[in-house]
Structure 1
Amino acid sequence: MLPDRGAQPGALSRVVLLGALILMLSMGVRATAGIFMTPMLQEHGWSREFFSNVFALQNLAWGAGAILMGMLADRFGGGRAIALSAMLYAAGLIGTRFASTTPELVVSFGLLVGVGQGGTTAALVMPMISRAVSPMARSVSLGVANAGGSLGQFLVVPAGQLLIDVFDWHAALLILSASIASIVPLALLMAGLRRPGAAKTGAASAGAAPAGAAPAGAAPAGSAASSLQSAPAASEAVPSLWGAICDAFRQRSFALLAGSYFVCGFQLAFITLHLPAYLLDNGMSARHGAMAIATIGLFNVIGSFLVGWLGSRYSNKMLLGWIYALRAVFVVQLLLMPVSPFSLYLFSAGTGLLWLSTVPLTMGLVGQIFGLRFAATLGGFVFLSHQIGSATGVWLSGRSFAASGSYDTMWFASIALALMAAALAWMIDERPDRGRTRPVEAFEPQRAASG
């Protein structure tokens, strides 16, 4: 996926706003899984462990879908890949509404929804935005788009609970599937906003670029903007997709990014699915569970804007490490304080500031270190690690609850893993890779300037 030569400079360009809207719908509906679990289990007689296993499968399908759709995006364009994913996502939700057997739920809620999410979330939307804005605006733009996903969590989860209360969970799922279907025209419109003369996606648009002076203006060391200004030798060959993947897999920083993102997925999936049930187990209402997830989303709007701004000024790996470390602090706070509305919303607000703030930093580091040529595909592989972590988190939480009747083990594991992820993030070498994955886009500013 090549950067557009006609990239829009503003962080609030139409491409960014459309990307934020797509993430708002996709991530908002995604966050409702926890509020649907209890009524679905009560009607069908399924166990909490079984639902956790299906949700774990969904997370793996999400990760695999991110790679598949990323490859399609790098070959045929991001708009088409996102539109196809939205159709699969909506079909999966409709199938979930009518699922009455365990295989039907596995196929609809596990596979179709998972693959659909893979192509409608950050792994595809973020690279499209990265291509559409100037390097100096990239970090802030990704933060703005990421805030859309957080806003969706804040708006859609309470709306979903309201729909369940007013109608039932069957009608609520159908309404949410219609909202996901609306992503299709948004994705096609987003893809059609490229300016005349912009580089096209695919190998045909690749080519050697003349060497030249560094782009005007300097950014702080370690920031996304400064790293994008560092370029390899122009004589290096343009890589194939497979060559780019092999290069990335040989890099220590790629493994560190994937490892830290595994922890992010572990924590987010566990909390998204099981926090409402944890609160019910401790005497709080279902509405508190929905509002806790919504509060996390609201505060992550603030966190996303803040991280986007900080990411353009400071080291992205250092910011990423501190986010993981602070997550551990707020889990400790939840465990030490008695479960009450005050302790719950304090945890939700603090966790919310850090919730999806890892996304623009992690995806920004992928492009910063390995370049934008195959950013959707490489980002998909990193995201697969996130989804393996998600699947592990929800599977272990279901097993742990079945064995002990509590989530204590999972909370302690979340603390330890958060501290480990902080250490991994701080070990990343965020300087641009000098391998085969960067030569085209690194010189895009010079190529555009030279006509």
Structure 2
Amino acid sequence: MSSIKSKELLSLNQRLIRSPLVSCMAGCAILWVSFGIRQSFGVFLIPITEETGWTRSTFSIAAALLQLLWGFSQPFLVYLAEGKVGFGKTIFVGCVFYAVGCFILYASNQSSGLFIFAMGAVIGISAGGNSFPNVLASVGRRFPQNSKQQSMAFGIVSSFGSLGQCCFLPMSRAMLNSIGWRMSFIVFGIMMAAFAPLAYYLQTVPPIPALPDNTKIKDLVKSSDSVTGKNATEKVIEQEITEQEELECRPLEDISAPDIKTALKEAFSSSTFVCITLGFSVCGFHIAFLSTHLPAYLQDNGIDSSLAAWTISIMGLGSMIGTIGTGYLVTFIKPKYVLMGIYGLRTILIVIITFIPLTITTVIVFSVFFGFLWLSTVPPTTKFVGTVFGHRYLGTLTSITFVGHQIGAFLGAYVAGVVYDKTHSYERMWYGSLAVSIFAVIVNFCAGVEPINEKRRRQRAVDVESMK
């Protein structure tokens, strides 16, 4: 009897692990807390520098190293996750060390070096383990590859990172006023450790193959009906489809690169991949600059500190809507056009915040509309990479594009601090943000000008079939 119950529990456990809904919930929760904590660090800039006497450059280098090491560690950690270690273990270890980094920050008030090590190195590398590429790659395996359901799942799960930003900014502000910045990091560490076990439901599972192209199958059935009559429909469906039609309906997983070495070679030799990465780096530049320095910039210009903290929170709420929206848009609009639209709208908003007098109204308008564009680049970028190179090594390839994102983030966080310490103004950073935004529109337009080498990918599928 006990043996039967144990088998039933084991079966239930396996169903939960393979469940798309459960994996989405686990991924949402982990991104909510991990991204929420990271995005709240900008609120601590002024309190920490005033209490310790450190310059803004000191805080900025810690925030910038977090972004840089987060990006550079990610491909290796995703590679491990896609290999022998698995997604679940990688995400779990990343969460645990993330919590350790928060605890070290508590003890760093007397040492700027320890502060930079904790925020930049420990949290930065740990973030590479529990961030978007690992979480989305794990969740995506539980949906038919390249399907609308998968695209929507990417958008919904990504949006909870934005929800974390929305929730943690006012939480951080409240904790600063009540328990101070050091104890706030203790609370963050406890929360991160408490959410770590959810990684169990993000274990590696075999990916679900892509669904056949229903339109092509219907066309095939209609053409057969016109010749042989409707009674032959069932026979047509049951028969083996011709070789050409089989290749057209073949799951994208089958026509991905056969190994990681080939996937990397194809990616790095593709101008499309380079353009995607360059465009994504601009997203990182904007986000790191704003999340680290916008509250301080607003306070410097006479905006109340509470409203200054709420601006990033408002962006997080808007980003949740925007991320889900772009996850839906890429189901029927090419990702490159969605990305061009995002960066084009960012350009307009940066012009507004730079050249129109700063008031509460302009701050709120900027925060609301820029929020819709905050993390909305993640679903179309993920979709773009998957469409061009397949889904077998999607986590590794998107993590490489994320290196570009984090190089941009490093520059956005660090250069802004250096510029402020030298000029006591962020004006030059706004001009720089405007310039790179225009650059992102251009490179995303160029992405896709190079035709996807579909013939080569189809031929690889034929070669694989012939070897069987």
TM-score scaled to structure 1, two decimals? Answer: 0.85
What are the equivalent positions in structure 2 for 1:172-321 lying under 5 Å apart? 172-191=184-203, 198=206, 214-217=212-215, 239-321=258-340
| Equivalent residues of 1:323, 1:358 under 8 A apart | yes
Residue 165 of structure 1 is matched in structure 2 by: 177
Shift of 1:170: 1.1
Compared with structure 1, are the counterparts of its residues 373 and 395 closer, same or farther at alpha carbon in structure 2 (3 Å cutoff)?
Answer: same
Q: Which amino acid in structure 2 is aligned with residue 94 of structure 1?
A: F
Shift of 1:73: 0.8
Number of the residue aligned with 1:110: 120
User: 1:133 aligned to 140, 143, 146, which one?
Assistant: 143
Q: How far does the alpha carbon of each residue in 1:62-89 deviate from its partner, in whole angstroms, 9 at most, with x for none? A: 0012112101111121111111111121
Per-residue CA shift, 1:90-118, capped at 9, x if unaligned?
11111111112122112211101101111
Q: Which amino acid aligns with 1:283?
A: G
> Secondary structure at 1:13's aligned position in 2?
helix
Counterpart of 1:86 in structure 2 is 95
Q: CA deviation at 1:435?
A: 8.7
1:130/1:45 Cα in 2 relative to 1: closer, same or farther (>3 Å)? same
Whether 1:22 aligns to 2:20 is no
Partner of 2:165: 153
Among residues 66, 69, 73, which one is paired with 2:77 in the alignment? Answer: 69
- 1:189 Cα deviation from its structure 2 partner: 2.2
SS of match in other structure, 1:119: coil
1:407 aligns with 2:426: yes
Quote the Cα distance in structure 2 between the aligned partners of 1:187 and 1:213: 28
What is the DSSP-based 3-state SS (H/G/I as helix, E as strand, rest coil) of the residue aligned with 2:214?
A: coil
* Structure 1 residues 77 and 39: CA distance shift in structure 2, 3 A: same
Query: Whose Rg is larger?
Result: 2
Give, as a single letter, the amino acid of the residue that structure 2 aligns with 1:185: P
Shift in Å at residue 441 of structure 1? 11
- Residue 387 of structure 1 aligns with an amino acid whose one-letter code is Q
1:315: how far off? 1.0
C-alpha separation in 2, matches of 1:213 and 1:126: 19
Q: Which has the higher contact order (CA 8 A, sep 6+)?
A: 1
Q: Structure 2 stretches of 5 or more lacking a match?
A: 1-14, 217-246
Deviates more, 1:259-268 or 1:397-406: 397-406
Contact 1:90 1:177 in 2 (8 A): yes
Measure the CA separation in 2 of the matches of 1:252 and 1:336.
35
Q: 2:370 aligns with which of 351, 376, 385?
A: 351
Q: What is the RMSD computed on CA atoms of the aligned residues?
A: 3.1
Q: 1:433 to 1:86 in 2, by over 3 A?
A: farther
Runs of 4+ in 1 over 6 A off after TM superposition: 6-10, 232-237, 435-442
Deviations 1:351-393 (A, max 9, x none): 0000000011111211221112111111111100000000011
Identity of aligned residues (%): 29
Q: Per-residue deviation at 1:336?
A: 2.8
Q: Which residues of structure 1 form unaligned runs of 5+?
A: 1-5, 201-208, 219-227, 447-451
Range that drifts further, 294-303 or 100-109: 100-109
Q: Distance in 1 between matches of 2:264 and 2:342?
A: 28
Over 3 Å counting, the alpha-carbon distance change for 1:248 and 1:73 in structure 2 is same
For the Cα contact (< 8 Å) 2:17–2:202, is it kept in 1?
Answer: no
Select the residue among 40, 51, 60 that pairs with 2:68.
60
Q: CA deviation at 1:20?
A: 1.6
TM-score scaled by structure 2? 0.82
> Residue type of the partner of 2:74?
A
Contact map agreement 1:64 1:384 (CA 8 A) in 2 = yes
* Structure-to-structure mapping, 1:368-407, within 5 angstroms: 368-407=387-426
Contact 1:237 / 1:436 at 8 angstroms: preserved in 2?
no
Letter aligned with residue 303 of structure 1: G
Shift of 1:344: 0.6
Q: Distance in 1 between matches of 2:422 and 2:65?
A: 21
Number of the residue aligned with 2:129: 119
**CA 1:190 to 1:408, structure 2 compared with 1: closer, same or farther past 3 Å?**
same
Aligned 8 A contact 2:162 2:319 in 1: yes
Of the three residues 147, 155, 160, the one matched with 1:143 is 155
Shift of 1:252: 0.8
CA distance in structure 2 between the aligned counterparts of 1:327 and 1:317, rounded to whole angstroms: 15
Report which stretch shifted further, 83-92 or 268-277: 83-92
Q: Sort the Cα spacing of 1:74 and 1:229 in 2 relative to 1 into closer, same or farther, 3 A.
A: farther
Q: Contact (CA 8 Å) 1:16, 1:145: kept in 2 or not?
A: yes
Q: How many residues align?
A: 415
Most deviating of 256-265 and 234-243: 234-243
Q: C-alpha displacement at 1:338, in angstroms?
A: 2.1
